[in-house]
């Protein structure tokens, strides 16, 4: 793919950059905590762009002051799901906003097969297009 030379999933922030180091993740977490956003850790093995809701790893973390605790949790998630996508989301609960304000991937499978284009021919030779993750051909937990 010309547009994605690394052949990696590009969802969320920093996804075109090299993977974040733990120190860089801490700095980003610190920024979120400074703004009073609650941080959640989520994982999935079905990274379709329309799959918005990933599984939560533990509860979202409120009232934290220091990123060390979150990093601890990220590392335990990595240990549990070494070959899943793991992302960190920061949720802004301000009235009227109430939505994630940050989201970035902190763990990827070693091999990311990517997506294939699926053409579906409808009536009148009308073609509808969608994408399909190669990984999801396998059953859950056997992907990647």
Partner 1 sequence: MSKQSKNLTPTKDPSIDLDAEFQASNIQEVLEKLDQELIGLIPVKTRIRETAALLLVDRVRKQMGLSAGAPSLHMCFTGNPGTGKTTVALRMAEILHRLGYVREGHLVSVTRDDLVGQYIGHTAPKTKEVIKKAMGGVLFIDEAYYLYKPENERDYGAESIEILLQTMENNREDLVVILAGYKDRMDKFFHSNPGMRSRIAHHIDFPDYGPDELVAIAKLMLESQNYCFSSAGEEAFGKYIRLRMKSEHFANARSVRNALDRARLRQANRLFSGTKKSLSKTDLITLEAEDILASRVFLESAVDSEPNTKNKK
Is residue 59 near partner 1 by the rule CB under 8 A? yes
Dihedral, 96, 99, 101, 134 alpha carbons, nearest 10: -160
Is residue 118 near partner 1 by the rule CB under 8 A? no
Shortest separation between residue 61's beta carbon and partner 1, angstroms:
6
Is residue 63 near partner 1 by the rule CB under 8 A? yes
Is residue 72 near partner 1 by the rule CB under 8 A? yes
Shortest separation between residue 42's beta carbon and partner 1, angstroms:
17
Q: How far are the Cα atoms of 24, 73, 85 from residue 79, in angstroms, in the given order? A: 19, 10, 12
51/8 Cα distance (integer angstroms):
17
Shortest separation between residue 96's beta carbon and partner 1, angstroms:
27
Is residue 66 near partner 1 by the rule CB under 8 A? yes
């Amino acid at each position: 793919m010309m547009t994605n030379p690394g052949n990696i999933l590009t969802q969320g922030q920093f996804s075109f950059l090299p993977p974040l180091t733990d120190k860089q993740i801490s700095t980003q977490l610190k920024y979120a905590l400074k703004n009073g956003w609650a941080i959640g850790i989520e994982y999935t093995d079905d990274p379709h762009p329309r799959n918005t809701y990933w599984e939560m790893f533990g509860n979202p973390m409120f009232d934290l002051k220091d990123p060390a605790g979150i990093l601890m949790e990220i590392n335990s998630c990595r240990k549990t799901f070494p070959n899943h996508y793991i992302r960190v989301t920061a949720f802004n609960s301000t009235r009227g906003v109430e939505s994630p304000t940050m989201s970035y991937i902190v763990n990827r499978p070693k091999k990311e097969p990517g997506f294939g284009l699926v053409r579906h021919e409808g009536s009148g030779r009308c073609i509808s297009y969608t994408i399909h993750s190669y990984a999801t051909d396998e059953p859950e937990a056997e992907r990647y």
